[in-house]
Amino acid sequence: MDQLKRMAVFAEVVAAGSLSAAARRLGMTPSAVSQHLRQLEQALGLALLHRSTRSLALTEAGERYHAGCAAMVAAARSAEQALARLRDEPEGELRLAAPIGFGSLLARALAPLRRHSKLTLHLLLDDAVIDLIAARVDVALRVGALADSSLVARRLGGMARQLCAAPAYLAERGWPAQPQDLLRHDWVGSRPQSLGFDQLALQGPAGEQETLRLQGRVQATQASALHALCLAGWGIGMAVTEDDRQALADGRLLPVLPGWRLDDLPVHAVTLRRGEQPAKVRHALDLLASHFGDGASTARAVPLAAP
């Protein structure tokens, strides 16, 4: 590494035309510059410069060696400029992981990134937790409670939840009037990782609280599958995705216990590290926070699942 520094000093001396001018450019003393040159020549076993009190001239060896040194310095400066562009302007590939149902949401939220012509977007949509390191993910969206880890999370906002069911199911099985009635109904919404049951905490119109543990009749690992099962009349489920909300709007699903409220599901953006991020990541995080209406959120370390 010392040799590389001496090569850079030599290239700067040639470019500046004198030891003193090179010293000013490098923020060094002329004696320190001279020492680097002597050490370089000793290491090479050849003189690189003819020095006089007023001028410098390259030796034949110096002429040959200078081309490589100058190219090294130019490559280093080019690398720094490339990183500066990455830091200041979104470019390169932005790899973002999210649950399957987030595709249309991300398309809208990240639309302003279209104007950055050097940026490409790669969405990895999967309801399973994606390994951020193995998949080279820049940002991952996680919904719900966060488990233990050292990843860095930024709370973006929350997703509203509403109990719902297909009209045909409610016509056949009846309408629940109170939360306890749910225990006599088929439940759609369990995941294998939740050990086969969902725990619901509901708040009533007068502030009363009910907590239920519901055994799922069906299990699925994807929100799209749970949506389809609920539409098909397998039981009562929980509307979370945009597809669920659209089905509620057009009557294919009906709200159940509309007077009882479920807490919103928290949505976090997680990254592998805190500190300075490339511009593509900073812009994406800000756009996502703005979309969820929680732009004042700040990055913080929170417990998470393994990346």
pTM above 0.95, yes or no: no
Identity of residue 14? V
CATH match of 92-150+274-301 with 3.30.2130.10: no
DSSP-assigned states of every residue in 228-252: HHHHTTS-BEEE-SHHHHHHHHTTS
Architecture of domain 162-263: 3-Layer(aba) Sandwich (3.40)
Query: In whole angstroms, what is the distance from residue 265 CA to residue 216 CA?
Result: 19
Q: Centre a 10 Å sphere on the Cβ of residue 10 and count the other Cβ atoms it contains.
A: 25
How does pLDDT run across 93-131, given as a tens digit for each residue? 999 999 887 888 899 999 999 988 889 999 999 888 888
DSSP β-bridge partners for residue 143: 267
CATH match of 2-88 with 1.10.10.10: yes
Q: Is the dihedral of CA 267, 271, 274, 275 positive or negative?
A: negative
DSSP 8-state assignment for residue 298: -
Please report, in angstroms and rounded to a whole number, the separation of the first and last CA atoms in the chain: 35
Assess whether the region 92-150+274-301 and the region 162-263 belong to the same CATH fold. Answer: yes
What pLDDT, on the 0 to 100 scale, is given for residue 144?
A: 80
CA distances 42 to 6, 132, 247, 271, Å, are: 11, 49, 79, 48
How does pLDDT run across 40-82, given as a tens digit for each residue? 889 888 888 887 767 788 888 888 888 889 888 888 877 776 6
CA distances 84 to 64, 90, 91, 274, Å, are: 31, 11, 11, 19
Mean pLDDT of the chain: 83
Mean pLDDT comparison of 13-22, 164-173, 196-205, highest-scoring range: 164-173
- Listed by start position, the domains of the chain span 2-88, 92-150+274-301, 162-263
Q: Do the Cβ atoms of 217 and 186 come closer than 8 Å?
A: yes
Identity of residue 276? E
